[in-house]
Structures are given as structure tokens and as C-alpha cells.
Structure 1
Amino acid sequence: MKAGFKIILTAMITVSLSQQLTAQFLSASDTSESSVRKYQNIIKANKDIVEFIEYSMVEKGLPKHLRNLALIESNFNRNITSSAGAVGVWQFMTAHANQYGLTEQQRTDLYRSTKTAAVSLSDLYRKYHNWVTVVAAYNCGEGNIAKAMRNAGSTQYHVFSKYLPAETINHVKKYLNVCFATGELSAVLNDYNNSRMRKVFLEGSGSGKSVSSLTEAEINAGFNLKIIADELKVDFSQLMDWNPELEQQLQEDGEGILFLPVDLMPDFLLKKNKILARSVKESSVNQGK
């Protein structure tokens, strides 16, 4: 067995076992009809706010499911103040707001606070590479995350989370419950598992490469991955490094999660219709041969 193949096989086995372990810790804890209906009703009742938040996230190259963070933080209430002094839809504390140039008064400004939240969340994702850890860090701060990681000797949330405050653990559980209600739980968990898969492959290969800051978009089997690479002007092999399971997902499920660096995602979203049209046309040509 060649050394390179052995490394990849070992990495795949490690990730598979790790995913099974993760599933025991990361899943929706409340999938009841009443829970699903409650969250869906909150989103429907705040349609305008939700659409603005989703637009702002996508504009920054971030996933729409981050609107669920605003939901669990404030139920989209821009005038709410917590007992700890967090204010607005995104529940900014004074220090957190000041860190990004947001004044105390602007914390209740939906436009300014959402744009600031998008920058903050992008920074956190660049650091942690998965949305589960980002949600935890947004709640308890990067210092508590670093401490928990040190105590656990691991950067994986399902390992170090036992060292986090109970409030933060519950916050993450609530986020996963809302994502279940909005049909986005699989995207969040795939992101978590894929972030660890990329880490295993890159470290196991001894390539010395660093993991890129990636964000996600849903695509269906109609998309041709080679055309995506061509339109984004990246090597196909690089695209597959970011998406090692995507071809299989598209073949088996008819849909999947495309991971791209944050700076490439806006370009993909702008060209999405063009890419799909090219993909369909090429598929038709190939079928006609």
C-alpha cells in the first residue's frame, strides 16, 4: 500500500469514527412539533428583519442560518437588554461593541449592529473554522473558549465543551434546535465535521498547508464542480481539497454543501445562475453524444 494512500485511508477512518462520536454530542435536543412551530412562527413574525439579516450575512459570504443566532439572542427584539447589560438584536456587550467601533447607542440600531455582527462572526469563523464553536464563542467569549480547549487538550467542541459555562452549552443546544426547525441542522453539522476532516487531511499529509477560512452554500446535483472552479478561476484540485465529500453527496443525495473561502463566496453567489446554466447546457451536450 502506497504511503500517500495509507495516510488518506487512515484519515478517512479517523474522521468516520470521529463523526460517529460527534453525533452523540451534537444533535437537536428538542425536535418536537411545538418547538419547531415556535421557532418558525418567530421567524415568520419578523420577516422583514430576518430578510435583512440574511441579506447581510450572504453579502459578507456567511450562511443564512446565522439569522438563528439573532433569534436565540433576542427573538429579533432590537430594544431588549439582558440582565448582564447586553443590548439589541445581537445582544452586544459594551466591550464587544467597542471592539468593532459600535457605540452603546448603536447597539439598538438594526442596520449597524447587524453589519457589525457579520464582521464579528466572520472573524470568529476565521479563527475556529466551524459554526458550532463560533456560536459558543459569541456567547461566552474567546477567552473562555481558549481556556476550555487548554483544559481538554483539544480544539474540538464536542471534547472541550464540558469545560464551558452551562449557559454556553445550552446556547449551542438551542442554536442546533432552531437550525433543526429551519431545516439547516445538517449544514451546521456537516460544516463541523468537514472542518475536522480538512484538519486531518492537511495535518496527516504533512503538507504544511493551513486551513482556509471557509464558508458554505447549498447546491444541487445540477451544478458541475469543474464549471464552478472555472468560473471562480481556481484549480479544480483546490476546489476538491475544500470539498472532499461533495461529489459523493451530490450523487447520493442530489444536493450538498459547497465550501469556499470567504472572499470567493460573494463571487460564487453572483455567478450562481450562470454556473448552473452552463452546467445544465454541458450536461445536455454530453447526454446527446
Structure 2
Amino acid sequence: MEMKIIFKNILTGLLLMGTVTFANAQFLEASDTSEGSVRKYKSIINANKDIVDFIEYSLVQKGLPRHLRNLALIESHFNRNITSGAGAVGVWQFMTAHANQYGLSEQNRNDLYKSTKTAVISLANLYKKYNNWVTVVAAYNCGEGNIAKAMQAAGSSQYHEFYKYLPGETINHVKKYLNACYATGELPSVLSNYNSSRMNTVFFTEGGNRKNDESLSETDINAGFNLNIIAEELKVDVDKILAWNPGIEQELEKKGESTFYLPMDLMPDFLLRKNKILSRSIKQAR
């Protein structure tokens, strides 16, 4: 174990110096480095300096990197009044279900202040789950359920391996993000973060925790969720839910939130039904 940690530290140093790369992840680079592309992204940022400054301030306050401002850049060009064909609204292009999950009302999705605060919380939660910004950008676009299904299909949690199972729109979205980060000079940071995440996966996924020992996947839920309704929607006995999550009832009552474990084959179904389950739970509690 000590040798493993020493070797990891050596690799980390080499990675930070740019000496070590991961061949299979080399496609994770800007697909458009033309002067026109760089000029376009920089021009949009410069034309919306007040909005950009507020977004960056909000990100830094939460300990998140400034390059996430590029997510709003590719989502909406910082236009708070834009509505997509799918019904996503505002600078951060919140769908109604995504907004409701974080307590953002439908009418406030184009409120720059409230939507940005919500987006920051959402991005922080996604990073806690995926531990790299590339997968976070993909999940923000297509949802955690689609990410879980793609990971399951690929048998891997690595974006460069499961991306082919994602919607074409999401794959293109990630490409746009990498292009925007190239334009702002932040692409090396994004790729370094991705490679570091890959390395951590290699060195710290061998036993030692319940998730790996029982092939469980994890997400977060709050006290609004009814465990009986979760079991009913997933067609499993509630006793199994409790066995996979010992002490969860006390945790939800005490803290109002908890990490939630499910077998890997059930997690995609839960994430895809998450908003329906929460809605049913709230109705039953009334």
C-alpha cells in the first residue's frame, strides 16, 4: 500500500509537469483552435463583462474554477432571456425539472442572480459525484440518468470510454466546452483535472469501502424522498433499500440529506425517475 501511494505521488508530480499523459484520453482536446473560434468566444465574453464577473465571483465563492463560466457561454452566450427548443431557459439553460430539484422556480430560471446561485450548487454536487469537470459538463447537459446508463453500457466511469453511449448533442456540448476553454487559455487545467481524476480512479477503487465491495453506486438524496416510494418505483423491497443504506433513515432525519446507495444496475432507473419519485413523495407527505 505504501509503495502504491509513493508511486501515485510520483505520477502526480509528473502529470503536473506534463511529463505523463494518458494515450486513450488524447481525443479530449480542442476540436476547433482556429482564430475565428477563439475570436468568437472571447468576443462574447468581452461583450458581457458584468455578467461574466458576477458568474466568476459566484464560482470562486464556492471554490469552483472560473472556467465553468464557459458552460454558461456555450449554453446561452450569457443571454438571460433565451429559451431553447426543448424549453430550457436563461443563462444556465435550466429545464423545469432540474430547476425544481434545487428549489429554483420556473419563473426564476431567467433571473441571473438566482439561476447562477443554483447552477453553482448543482455543479458543485456533480463534481462531488464525478470528480472531473469533463463528466460534469456532460451530466449538466444530458442528466445523471443518461450518464449512469452510458457508464453501465461501457463498463467504465471514464468519459473517454463511455462517451460513445451518450446523446450526440451531449458529445458535441463537451467539444464546445473544450473549444471555449482553449479560447480562454484554460484547457490545460481542464485536461489535467481529468487525467488526475483518472489516476485517482486507478489507485483508489480497490476495496476498502462499501460501494466497491457490493458493486454499489452512489448519489445524494434529501429528506423529501420517501424510501417506500423509491422501492415501489424501482420494484424492489424496501428492506433491500435499507440494507444497502444502513442508518439512512436516521441520517435523513438528523441532517436532512444523505448519500444514497443502489446497485449499479438500479441507479440509472432511479436517476431517470428521481423527479417523479420526489414529486410523489411530497404529495404523499401532505
Native 8 Å contact 1:102 1:116 kept in 2: yes
In structure 2, the residue matched to 1:74 is 76
Q: Does the CA contact (< 8 Å) of 1:152 and 1:159 recur in 2?
A: yes
Which residue number corresponds to residue 142 of structure 2? 140
Deviation at 1:12, TM superposition (A): 4.7
Secondary structure of 2:90's aligned partner: coil
Aligned positions of 1:1-289 closer than 5 A: 4-5=2-3, 9=7, 12=11, 19-23=22-26, 25-203=27-205
When residues 145 and 60 of structure 1 are mapped into structure 2, their CA distance, relative to the original with a 3 A threshold, is same
* Over 6 Å off, 4+ runs: 15-18
Count of aligned positions: 205
CA distance in 2 between partners of 1:181 and 1:12 (Å): 28
> 1:6 and 1:191 mapped to 2: Cα distance?
20
Distance 1:66 1:140 in 2: 17
Return the offset for 1:57: 0.4
**1:203 deviation in Å?**
3.4
Kindly indicate whether the alpha-carbon contact (under 8 Å) linking 2:4 and 2:203 is maintained by their aligned counterparts in 1. no
The 2-side partners of 1:71 and 1:79 are apart by: 14
Give ranges in structure 1 of 5+ residues lacking alignment.
Answer: 211-289
Task: From the superposition, tell whether residues 7 and 114 of structure 1 become closer, same or farther in structure 2 (CA, over 3 Å).
Answer: closer
TM-score by length of 1: 0.66
Structure 2 residue matching 1:138: 3-state secondary structure: helix
Report the RMSD for the aligned CA atoms in angstroms.
2.4
Q: CA–CA distance in 2 between the matches of 1:150 and 1:185?
A: 28
The aligned amino acid for 1:5 is M
Deviations 1:20-52 (A, max 9, x none): 2211x2000000011000000000000000000
In 1: Cα distance, 2:205 partner to 2:148 partner? 21
The CA deviation at 1:202 is 2.5
Whether contact under 8 Å (1:49, 1:76) holds in the other structure is: yes
In the alignment, the residues of structure 2 paired with residue 98 and residue 83 of structure 1 have an alpha-carbon distance, to the nearest angstrom, of 19
Q: Distance in 2 between matches of 1:207 and 1:101?
A: 36
Q: What is the letter of the counterpart of residue 49 of structure 2?
A: K
Amino acid at match of 1:85: G
- TM-score computed with the length of structure 2 as normaliser: 0.67
- Paired-residue identity, %: 71
